[in-house]
Structure 1
Amino acid sequence: MMHRLLLKAAALAACLVAAPVAAQQQDAKEDGKSFGQSLRGDAQRAAQTPPEAADLPNYEPNAVRDLERLADNPDRIESSAAAAATTHQGYRAMRDSIANRARFDSEEIEDVIARSLAINETPLDYTSGMSVTGSQGACVPLPPGSASAGTYTATCNSGTRIEQSAGQCTVPLIANVSQRQQWHYLCNDTGGSFGHPWCSAFDGNSCRITGYRPGPCLQWRDNQFTHYCTEPGDPIAEISCDAPDNRFTPYAVTTDTEVDTALDESQCTGLGNNADCALETEICTDSFPQTRIIDGVSVSRSCWEWQRSYSCVTRSAASDCAEIEDQGTCRFLREECLTDGTPCETWERIYECPLPAGDTGTTQYVCDGDVYCIDGSCETIERNANDEFKDAVTALHAMDEARGAFDPDTLTLFRGTRNTCSSKVFGVLNCCKGKGFPLIPGISLLVALGCDREEVLLHERDAQGLCAYAGTYCSKKFLGVCLTKKKAYCCFESKLSRILQEQGRKQLPKPWDKPREEQCEGFTLDEFAQLDLSQMDFSEVYAEFTEAARLPDELETSVLIQQKIEDYYARSGQ
């Protein structure tokens, strides 16, 4: 009994639960049906209405038309992409990121590692302490290392190369002599009068009117002096035909000789149809004799043959940056357009390259005892190199040069002199090689090759580190392509002056003017007072100081004292 009651209760509960669920399902069905009906009208209208460009997401008619044109001419895809890439911000950012990535020479890394491993193997050989007797310890040379002697600016070219060439061709005069018969008839416009046909009867038969003769007189009159016509008839036309007209009788049949002349330009077709070739000159090369016999007929012409000279240009993509990029040690800085056209036809790529380390013959040492020496610069042992000494010396030297570099006329310091050198874009002769390139012995050789003597002197001064690169500008261009460029430099009396100008302009800031206009002005007194010499990198001039450095007098004296003490102990046997 209890079991049946439980079953009834469960069934009742199920019904109570099922009823709301069924009601909810019915409501959802009705909502979905009404929602679908509300959208059905919009869907039908959209299907029946032609699509509009504004209704299509991301639809750009111009872009679609551009793609259609590229589809018709696939060869333009690569050139269009290359042209768009030069101005695309994302592409330029990617290229600059790749070009400015730090690069290290593998040999230099291996050299540093080998040096570190050598010291790590036997550290006491390089850092041994003082000897028990108190005498000065030994100085042990460090393993050889690599060091850069500074940097230089290297440039190369990319873009369009124009090659000019000359072409010649011959144009002879061809003369042809032909003979043909002519049938001559008479006609008039009244038709039938005096037996002459209408002139219109000869239309369309290769006939032409060649003259007129007077028509017959219709009325004569006499007086006591003369007999004259008072009513002349219509004139009679003379017609010449290339073929006989069987309807009429010619009054004469003659044979004419015709001379036709024409220029034979077949040899000049290639040059004349080339849009990149322009006719420069046309001269007569055969004018004697002027009268010649051709097929028995004398033909006279002032010239019988001409020679045409054309100037042609050929455009091609070019780059001479492979030599710099293959070094692997140069860092790309920027790319500048040498021409003013859009798109740019000629680019100059600018790199910063390390100067090759020269063999100075000096050796670095670590000394035990009371002194620490590197390249002859010795300090009281602190086990830490003191960089402040060389910075202070350099700053004092700069102040000393400032006294000599002061220009009282302009009240400026470290004024330079403007120098320029030229080079062919994509050409062999380059009169602008200086710092970073070996000097060619003898000025006469470069002058003989086409360089100015001033350009050769600039080459030497730049190689000595006395000149700062101010920029490049195009000095000669053709059809929007740069053919010759000029580099502008500011040269100074010392390497230190050049460094002060280069790094001081960055601090102010006071960038170089446009390369065509830069005059290498010096610093005003107020500008020089703003410079922080402690923030400048004078590493290029440190080598000059260390080469000239000698052991201090105090160190020489201490060495003598130590030697005398050792000699005293040696003599006394202690």
Structure 2
Amino acid sequence: MTPRQSMAKPRSAGVWAVSRKARWRRHSTPMASRRNTADGRPDARPQGAPHASRLGVAALGKGQPFPAVRALIRDAWSALNEALPSIVLVRMPILLLVCLALPLAAPAADLTRDQALQLGKDFGNTNNTGVSNAAASPDLTTVPSYQGTSVPETQYYGSGLGIEDAARQALPNSEVGSFVQDSALSRPRFNIDRNDPIVQRGDAISADPEALLGQQLTGQYSGCQEVTTTTAPATWSEEYCTEWGMDQQVGCQKTLNLSCNRPIECDAGGINLDSVQSDMRWTYTYPYLTIGTISDNYWSGYCAVFDRSTTFTIEDINKVQEFTLIQAGFDDWIKVVVNGTLVYVGPYGGDRLEVVTTGRFRRVQYGASSYGWCELSTSWNKSLNIDIKPYLRTGLNTIDMRVIVAGGGEGWIKFKATQYCDCQWSETWESTCGALEQQAQAGMCVQQSQACLEPGETRLIDGIEVYRDCWRYDLSYLCATGETREEPYCQELHDRGCSQVNSTCVSTLPDGSCYEYQQTYRCPQGNAATQTVMNCGGQTFCLDGDCFDAGY
């Protein structure tokens, strides 16, 4: 200690504080004066003005607020009012803090504490409805990345497993999907399990690093320690085994559907129109055959009987799809007979239609004990639905019509006649194999078999007998699963404590994905040579038996 140091009088803590405060005032006062001048504030707080300990309040407490602060608060107030409808309710705490801070735009001395709180409440109540409406009916255009409701993915809603089939079909043409699948199928295969020596050694080091490292990892050495070091490494051999990609059998079915495309002009109800002979006017306009003239009172007489007959040829009754009596118009009575079979008596039904004389009067008998006057004073138009196909036959057919008229009258009948024409068959296959066929084209699947579940038979479609060799097929595909299986020797290498060190693809599928791997293992053969050395905190460092000199 020098004489000067020994003669210095120690200063108390209070003296040092006063001295430092004085020095600070000497240096800070000019700086404060320059700063106040730059900001447009008075050099000193007006006498009697309260002290303010915080920056914002202090600025307001000295009189007028800073121009920059006033502008900042005004801009914040405007931005808040514009953004308020989209503020989410979870941001309400932040909104409350901002609202409570806004009264600072007025001088602090102008508001009491209660006035400031009331101003905040009024502001919140005024905008409460707008915030609630924004939460109940948010403006979705403000949601980041919102794309509306008409997005392509909506087509999969309610499709069940259809989305999987769509994904399979899109996979071959998807760059991302192909990359993921190719990576899964082609990357090297490393099987690391908990029994692998490398994993076990790592677990042991993690569990007790001090014991296995042979030295303390924390603190400082206070002396030398005996440790065992490796002087000659262990010997290893390389062994190989094979691992194959796993396949799975996937089935699907195809069902044949036939539809008959027949032109309308071939359809005349099975009737050979050139063979039609009638003593009445007749017309055929698909699919209606009309016999007689649709008009009024072109016949006359009292209890007069008009018998008319129409003949035609049907080439094949099996091709007749429909032959139905659908309408009859007459005045006063009518009877229709097809190939000798009575099919209709009108207007009251019956089993006959004859003009008979009873006493002094001529009457119409339409049943065993049913009679009526010849004149009914009505032009009948009856809607019917009488199937006459059972009474028709291949070859010549005859339709007889009897009309009884009193005064003036008429008679006509109308049929709906359609036939099965020779078809141009349209074949479609209802298939569940679409995705598998796509994967087969991409080389990910291979069709192995095709079996007929519904073999050759004749079926009646649209009234026509159709034969096909097979109506439904079952197909089987072999597809890669992305998983693998090992030969038994791989497990033997695991049991011997070997570690996998490499993986090589030796066989690929048509799509380039790896199907067969050669796995390389490193297996221990001989133990390492060791010796005991003194570890003196820096000269020797060993990690898992690999030692070197760390001293210098």
TM-score band, normalised by shorter chain? under 0.3
Q: Which has the higher strand share?
A: 2
Whose relative contact order is higher, 1 or 2, with alpha carbons under 8 Å and at least 6 apart? 2
Instruction: Mark the structure with the bigger radius of gyration.
Output: 2
Normalising by structure 2, what TM-score? Answer: 0.26
Q: Which has the higher helix share?
A: 1
Normalising by structure 1, what TM-score? Answer: 0.25
